[in-house]
Amino acid sequence: MNAPRKLHIKSYGCQMNVYDAQRMVDTLTHENFVETANAADADLVILNTCHIREKASEKVYSELGRLREAKDDAARAGRDMKIVVAGCVAQAEGAEIVRRAPVVDVVVGPQSYHHLPELLRRARRDGRAIETEFPVVDKFSSLAPPQPAAIRARGVTSFVTVQEGCDKFCTFCVVPYTRGAEVSRSVVKIADDVRRLADNGVREITLIGQNVNAFHGTGPDGKPWPLGKLLHHLAGIEGIARLRYSTSHPCDVDDSLIAAHRDLPALMPYLHLPVQSGSDHILAAMNRKHTIAEYHRIIEKFRAARSDMAFSSDFIVGFPSETDDDFAATLALVAEIGYASAYSFKYSPRPGTPAADMQGMVDAATMDQRLAQLQELIDSRQAAFNVGCIGKTFDVLFEQTGRRAGQIVGRSAYLQPVHVMASSDIIGRVLPVTLTGLERYSFFGDLSAEPARTGSSRHNHASLTTTTGA
């Protein structure tokens, strides 16, 4: 058998890209590739790209400039390095990538990476291969399953894609153009993936999709299932202690999802529910299809179902035509909801989206000022939430050893890092921990003999409203 070839993959952006990168590795393992952390040593380098934020493509071209030198060095050493650009920048800018960076051998969109082995063969034969069309065949039917050793090496948590694409067409977003229409996988295939992961030590599954709660995959009964019903089904798989999902759209929250949070101990009481703005005027301009009053009602339903629910969100400041009053409404929403964390960004036009051609662009100085003010408020709310957790007992899933000798690190139900001094044999276990201290965003704690009182997979409903500011 030939010596293994070395593969280096760099992934940008969202959880979907992290998952896609892992599946590319799984596919190429069957082509005798092994991963390396050093791009200069690789026979194949893949840049798995994201097109959401401003200058995303420029970062790719900058990286390709560095890789051109590495490829030249490899050629002088007698090695044939191949370079692949995959993901959403590849989908959006395939021809431009080839024009600006002739060093690239393969360009492949996010729906076609299961064809990587064939595309690499075409590149060796023809000099280059490009595939950015949306395929008719579901890529998940063609992907090789991950090897048990690879699953175990990745740890006790894992992503599983259940849905891709988006039909919402928010005016600022490129996802419908780079990932395509909403498509859901079948329940049987998802459950098979989860069982395989559980059999190899995975304890926590995060279901992911561009619009994950738009899931409508075919169930074993031949009918479309909502996300809530899928979660009930997966909660019954032996070995799975925790379930999460991301990212959700407020318009696709239904009663089955609310009920899942009420009824499933394995479903964590932490939800990322992007709203983008606190102003109905801006939400309409964004084509978000809901109002702030409707968003509040959704939050209230979750909290009524499970009083220890906490939330995170996304915000865009400086969207075209955003006034001081619109921005003030965003600040008010953050204060009212009391998010445990949130992500915030300055608006950046994405070519080809409706918002890129809108009038009323906000000047850069105003955007900078608004972003700083919003982030200060978000940080204060997150700090208040975290301080309110000190002294309480939480269930923690332990994931890995820490930087200090004898230290083990896990995460609470709210994805907070928690450090304890213990033996490494607790990795993969969910244990109650009393939080004793906080350093920036990480907690220190002691293993507790008492059951967790909040944020617990045992599903105790101790309220956190006093710490969220709600």
Domains and CATH numbers, the chain: 5-131 (3.40.50.12160), 145-268 (3.30.750.210), 393-452 (2.40.50.140)
Specify the higher pLDDT residue, 12 or 467: 12
Residue identified by tokens 């900058």 is 62
Q: What is the DSSP string of 144-172?
A: PPPPHHHHHHT-SEEEEE-EE--S---TT
Work out the mean pLDDT of the chain and round it to a whole number. 91
Mean pLDDT, range 267-291, rounded to an integer = 98
Specify the higher pLDDT residue, 111 or 252: 252
Which residue type sits at 387?
A: V
Token pair for residue 341?
């964390």
Q: Are strands 44-49 and 5-11 parallel, antiparallel or unpaired?
A: parallel
Q: Where are the alpha helices (DSSP H) in 280-363?
A: 280-286, 292-305, 324-337
Cα–Cα distance for residue pair 306/327, rounded to 1 Å: 30
Which of 74, 96, 70, 76 has its CA nearest to residue 85? 96
Burial tier of 339 (Cβ tally within 10 Å: 0-12, 13-18, 19+): buried
CB 81 within 8 A of CB 54: no
Per-residue pLDDT, 351: 82
Cα–chain center distance at 369: 28
Say which DSSP state 361 is in: P
> Residue 467 pLDDT more than 50?
no
Render pLDDT for 375-403 as a digit per residue (tens, 0 to 9): 999 999 999 999 999 999 999 999 999 98
State the Rg of the chain over Cα: 23
Render pLDDT for 433-448 as a digit per residue (tens, 0 to 9): 999 999 989 999 999 8
Work out the widest C-alpha separation in the chain, in whole angstroms: 68
The residues, any chain, with a CB within 8 Å of residue 436's CB and separated by 6 or more, are: 390, 391, 443, 444, 445, 446
Cα–Cα distance for residue pair 400/418, rounded to 1 Å: 11
Render pLDDT for 224-249 as a digit per residue (tens, 0 to 9): 999 999 999 999 999 999 999 999 99
Q: Print burial letters for 187-219: b (CB count within 10 Å at least 16), e (below 16).
A: bebbbebbbbbbebbbbbbbbbbbbbbbbbbeb
Burial tier of 12 (Cβ tally within 10 Å: 0-12, 13-18, 19+): buried
Render pLDDT for 108-129 as a digit per residue (tens, 0 to 9): 988 888 889 999 999 999 999 9
Render pLDDT for 188-202 as a digit per residue (tens, 0 to 9): 999 999 999 999 999
Residue 391: CB atoms within 10 A of its CB come to 9
pTM for this entry: 0.85
Task: Describe the crossing of helices 116-126 and 15-29 by its angle, rounded to 10 degrees.
Answer: 70
